[in-house]
Structure 1
Amino acid sequence: MIAERAFFVLLGLAALTACAPAPTAPAGAVAPAGTVPPAVSGPLPLPARAKVSPVRLAIPAIGLDQAGLIPLALGAAGELQPPGRFSDVGWYEGGPVPGDPGPAVLAAHVDSRSGPAPFFRLRDLRSGDEVRVTRSDGADVVFRVDSVQRYPKSEFPTQAVYGPAPGNALRLITCGGSFDPAKRSYRDNVVVYASQRWD
């Protein structure tokens, strides 16, 4: 495979493009500015729960054990922003935390000019392979690969990846397929679908 950029379309430019599209931020009700909740009697509300995040990803079948996952956000066009460094694995913090209900999304580069990146061997995963995510609350969540799919970027299945999913699900995304030298980008996306294992 050509050692080139995965996830970035152009190297060395300020404008970066994500490898895969992502949903726009969900619409939610927002209280009007300046409103103050009425005074209530009774017990004080509980303090907000500390935000939980994934902190480590281990996939034994491909020899991956990566600590220090970074948060990923959406760009202005609603696309998932890639990790800033080729060595990082990122988590879409606008979605579920791995181990919570719904599809949690992790993304990383496939390679760079200097060699393989964290998700270089993602395409080699098979049904039944184990994916382990450690969370900041100390929980160790184990997923089992259901399938590995490859899609042309123009046909990325946004709903299947980011839409509602039964139970606790995990999606791993990187670039794949052949490299387009003119665009300096891979033509496809590789998506691993996994579900939490309870045994």
Structure 2
Amino acid sequence: MSANSRNDEGLTLIELLVAMMVSLVVLLIVGSLLVNTLKTERTVRTATQDTSSAQLVAKSVSQGVRNATDFWHSPAGSVPEILMARTQRTIDAGGNPVWVCRAWSFADGQVRTATSSTPIAKTQTAASVQSWTLLADGVEATTAGSVALPVFAWSGRKVDLALNVSTGTPEPTLIHTTAVSRQEPAAAGAPCF
């Protein structure tokens, strides 16, 4: 047997070890790219959920306030914090307004809403609002220094909405918007609160 034919029979141990090391490096690079991609996707998904929840709250409160004729807000420091509004939904066949009562609550990190054709009780507890529709979870009041500000700051015909939504992102999504009623105060109609 000649020396040339002996070299063509297979790999040496050194060649096999080098090939395994190169394969290992390639697998580590591909694996780390996959892990980083999955972490980034989770972060983006969470941030998108936070933003969507915050926008849903802002849209609900803004639409309700813009179409409201009367308002009521729970006293400062109340838990849950409640904002109520009376809005004209439609006009019936006789030309009379059809009123609807809307309410939003903030308690236990959640913003919830309720809509009713009958008055909604002003006295609510964190347990009683659990049957209301959940708009957002992971909500925190904004703060000025160490003082928590109201989520619904009401004055006259204007409501300032300020909240942070965070379900796991390092930076919460801040929503701060103002809605002003476009409706004149109603002289008469079904009471909501």
TM-score by length of 2: 0.22
Report which of the two has the higher share of helix.
2
TM-score by length of 1: 0.22
Higher relative CO (Cα under 8 Å, sequence separation at least 6) belongs to: 1
Between structure 1 and structure 2, the one with the greater Rg is 2
